[in-house]
């Protein structure tokens, strides 16, 4: 009779352990799926930040070229205007005045011309690209934290199967929730934690 009772307890224990292991295996699968999503989102955000950084650098380089062109045009116009004061020939003086006007108009267009991408427009493009880069980087960092939480959760859940310590599975589940929270912040409000730090 005692042997049958022990055998029944042993089979219940095996059934309970099997049920627990299935639950833990499901937890590991869910954490691995979330890890795949966070890694994919992280790579996308990283690529987006690099692309935006290149666009920003290009716009700033074009901006600098416009600044140089404006300064050269303005200097040439000022020098020609000074030189024209020493000229006595009226036809030459008029020709010089026309050239001064052309250089000044070109400098004004290079400063602010939506159709020709003036200096002002290049600065706006560069700043917009910097903002996109910063947002993508913020997303990337959140996805990296999420991935770390999922990876540690997978390790702890796996350790639960080996050790039988169920507290590890609960911690793994908690890390999964934390990872999901980081993913959500990265997707919907990537700057919120940065703003809270200031």
19-37 pLDDT per residue, tens: 688 999 999 999 999 999 9
Say if 17 falls within a structural domain. Answer: no
Share of the chain above pLDDT 90, in %: 76
Question: What total number of domains does the chain contain?
Answer: 1
Read off the pTM: 0.76
Say if 180 falls within a structural domain. Answer: yes
Is 197's pLDDT higher than 60? no
3-state secondary structure 14-37: HHHHHHHHHHHHHHHHHHHHHHHH
The domain in which residue 84 lies consists of 27-193
Is 16's pLDDT higher than 60? no
Q: What is the pLDDT of residue 198?
A: 46
For 89, list phi and psi in degrees, rounded to 5.
Answer: -70, 115
Say if 54 falls within a structural domain. Answer: yes
Say if 15 falls within a structural domain. Answer: no
């Amino acid at each position: 009779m005692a042997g049958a009772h022990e055998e029944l307890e042993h089979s219940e224990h095996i059934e309970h352990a099997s049920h627990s292991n299935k639950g833990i295996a499901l937890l590991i699968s869910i954490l691995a799926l979330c890890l795949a999503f966070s890694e994919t989102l992280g790579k996308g955000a990283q690529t987006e930040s690099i692309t935006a950084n290149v666009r920003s650098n290009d716009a700033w380089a074009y901006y600098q070229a416009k600044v140089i062109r404006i300064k050269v045009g303005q200097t040439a116009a000022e020098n020609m205007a000074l030189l024209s004061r020493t000229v006595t020939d009226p036809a030459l003086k008029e020709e010089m005045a026309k050239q001064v006007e052309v250089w000044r108009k070109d400098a004004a267009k290079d400063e602010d011309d939506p159709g020709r991408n003036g200096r002002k427009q290049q600065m706006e493009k560069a700043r917009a690209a910097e903002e996109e880069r910063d947002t993508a980087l913020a997303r990337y960092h959140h996805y990296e934290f999420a991935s770390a939480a999922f990876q540690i959760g997978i390790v702890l859940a796996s350790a639960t199967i080996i050790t039988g310590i169920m507290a590890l599975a609960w911690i793994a589940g908690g890390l999964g929730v934390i990872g999901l929270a980081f993913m959500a912040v990265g997707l919907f409000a990537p700057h919120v934690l940065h703003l809270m730090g200031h």
